[in-house]
């Protein structure tokens, strides 16, 4: 088969982000190989070049890298030492392993921002052993307690008061024991959350997407929907892009990064955290931007010119998650009705079974105005039901 080039991209992880990355490479017949322990993972539906194995398994990572020219990852929880070894053997790993090392640990991330004069919320670091003393010393009654490592999608993060902490302590709750330690962070009430996707090419060229605004479901702590363009002023949007570009530049590595930002009610902007990979907050770019976040990462990995990031029309994306009361095999109800609405794009990730709040897919809505986007989104949310088979 004709190929756009002779480069094979190796990806650690075979979830939905890998699936969408491979889909974006299909028009140019890009070549991929990926590592994932489950043979029927989402990426296996679109790529048959899979190494079956765990993402912490150094030998399997080496097997993946054999025959690949460049390595990246679609999840942070991978064996960094194995990636470093690949780099020592002159294999390109983007983003570089030292970036991932910082990002895997919320404590190191916060210190990195502080050391690079990047605005981030006040924090202190604590071990499990001295957590009680650290909480007592923290100046505010309410604060955010975060596990330094291993959390995702809000797991390992809790907003609590000092008295709630005391209850957790007396009931010996598991959440206040963590081998990697904790970040205690200032709580921002009524926070606005936006994300800026930034791409860094191998020659150092940087480009960013306009910020999109995220709205979270308070029950699951997962993103409920995101909307672009954001409702922020042009001045704040520009500041978000500047800060996001500065932080990514400080990491000094090619790659695609999602910079999550908090904005408080004084319009001050703070970096929350970074994902060194395609991100939920960029799903809408598939249909709404000239170049999607997935195509952008493909271009970065293949050392091609970066694509135009402009948003072509207002867009919203919602996660499709498993309902709290459905387990096992499932169907989507009302699909025909949903598909008869113009400007609705459904992406299902091919996961065989559902469980409460499992991310099963997402849908994106495009329309001419933000108002129409929000109305159609509400309509689809009403119609779209995940049901047991």
Residue (of 55, 56, 60, 67) closest to 31 by Cα position? 67
Residue 258 and residue 248 in contact, taking contact as beta carbons nearer than 8 Å: no
* Contact residues for 176 (Cβ-Cβ < 8 A; gap 6+): 128, 131, 145, 165, 168, 169
**CA–CA distance, 252 with 243 (Å, rounded to integer):** 15
71, 100, 121, 365: which one binds ligand ADP (CB under 6 A): 121
**144 forms part of the interface with ligand ADP (CB under 6 A):** yes
Taking CB under 6 A as the rule, which mask of x and - marks residues 79-118 in contact with ligand ADP? ----------------------------------------
Residue 261 and residue 269 in contact, taking contact as beta carbons nearer than 8 Å: yes
The separation between CA 269 and the C-alpha centre of its own chain, rounded to angstroms, equals: 19
**364 forms part of the interface with ligand ADP (CB under 6 A):** no
User: What's the min distance (Å) between Cβ of 248 and ligand ADP?
Assistant: 17
Residue 197 and residue 310 in contact, taking contact as beta carbons nearer than 8 Å: no
Residue with smaller CB distance to ligand ADP, 12 or 263: 263
Instruction: Report the b/e string of 152-190 with b at 16+ CB within 10 A.
Output: eeeebbbebeeeebeebeeeeeeebebebbbbbbbbbee
151, 229, 323, 343: which one binds ligand ADP (CB under 6 A): 151
The span of 73-81, 97-105, 149-157, 243-251 binding ligand ADP (CB under 6 A) equals 149-157
Q: Hey, which residues between 259 and 318 contact ligand ADP (CB under 6 A)?
A: 260, 272-273
**CA–CA distance, 245 with 275 (Å, rounded to integer):** 14
User: What's the min distance (Å) between Cβ of 265 and ligand ADP?
Assistant: 12
Residue with smaller CB distance to ligand ADP, 84 or 101: 101
User: What's the min distance (Å) between Cβ of 217 and ligand ADP?
Assistant: 10
**119 forms part of the interface with ligand ADP (CB under 6 A):** no
**191 forms part of the interface with ligand ADP (CB under 6 A):** yes
Taking CB under 6 A as the rule, which mask of x and - marks residues 35-74 in contact with ligand ADP? ----------------------------------------
At 227, which helix (H) or strand (E)? strand 223-228
User: What's the min distance (Å) between Cβ of 271 and ligand ADP?
Assistant: 11
**CA–CA distance, 300 with 201 (Å, rounded to integer):** 5
**188 forms part of the interface with ligand ADP (CB under 6 A):** yes
23, 76, 185, 210: which one binds ligand ADP (CB under 6 A): 185
The span of 12-20, 44-52, 182-190, 302-310 binding ligand ADP (CB under 6 A) equals 182-190
* Contact residues for 313 (Cβ-Cβ < 8 A; gap 6+): 288, 366, 367, 368
The reply to whether omega before 311 is within 30° of 0 (cis) is no
- For residue 180, the SS3 value is coil
36, 74, 105, 193: which one binds ligand ADP (CB under 6 A): 193
User: What's the min distance (Å) between Cβ of 284 and ligand ADP?
Assistant: 18
26, 142, 152, 233: which one binds ligand ADP (CB under 6 A): 152
Which residues bind to ligand ADP, rule: CB under 6 A?
A: 121, 144, 146, 151-155, 157, 185-188, 191, 193, 216, 260, 272-273
């Amino acid at each position: 088969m004709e190929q756009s080039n002779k480069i094979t991209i190796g990806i650690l992880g075979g979830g939905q982000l890998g699936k969408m990355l491979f889909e974006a490479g299909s028009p140019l017949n890009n070549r991929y190989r990926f590592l994932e322990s489950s043979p029927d993972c989402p990426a296996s539906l679109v790529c048959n070049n899979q190494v079956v194995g765990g993402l912490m398994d150094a030998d399997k990572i080496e097997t993946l890298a054999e025959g690949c020219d460049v390595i990246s990852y679609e999840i942070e929880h991978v064996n960094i030492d194995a990636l470093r070894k690949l780099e020592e053997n002159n294999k390109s790993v983007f983003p570089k392993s030292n970036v991932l090392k910082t990002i895997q640990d919320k404590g190191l991330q916060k210190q990195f921002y502080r050391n690079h004069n990047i605005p981030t919320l006040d924090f202190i670091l604590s071990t499990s052993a001295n957590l009680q003393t650290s909480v007592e010393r923290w100046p505010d009654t309410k604060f955010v307690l975060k596990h330094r490592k291993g959390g995702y999608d809000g797991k390992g993060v809790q907003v609590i008061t000092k008295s709630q902490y005391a209850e957790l302590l007396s009931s010996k709750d598991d959440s206040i024991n963590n081998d990697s330690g904790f970040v205690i962070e200032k709580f921002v009430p009524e926070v606005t959350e936006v994300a800026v996707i930034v791409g860094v090419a191998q020659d150092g060229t940087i480009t960013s997407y306009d910020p999109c605004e995220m709205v979270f479901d308070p029950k699951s702590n997962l993103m409920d929907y995101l909307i672009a363009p954001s409702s922020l002023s042009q001045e704040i949007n520009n500041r978000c892009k500047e800060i996001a570009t500065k932080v990514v530049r400080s990491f000094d590595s090619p790659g695609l990064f999602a910079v999550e930002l908090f904005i408080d009610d004084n319009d001050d902007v703070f970096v929350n955290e970074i994902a060194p990979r395609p991100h939920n907050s960029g799903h809408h770019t598939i249909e709404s931007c000239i170049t999607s976040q997935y195509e952008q990462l493909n271009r970065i990995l293949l050392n091609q010119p970066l694509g135009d990031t402009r948003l072509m029309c207002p867009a919203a994306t919602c996660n499709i998650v498993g309902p709290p009361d459905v387990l096992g095999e499932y169907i989507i109800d009302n699909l025909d009705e949903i598909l008869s609405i113009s400007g609705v794009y459904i992406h299902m990730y091919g996961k065989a079974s559902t469980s409460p709040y499992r991310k099963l897919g997402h849908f994106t809505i495009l329309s001419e105005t933000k108002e129409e986007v929000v109305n159609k989104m509400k309509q689809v949310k009403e119609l779209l039901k995940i049901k047991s088979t």
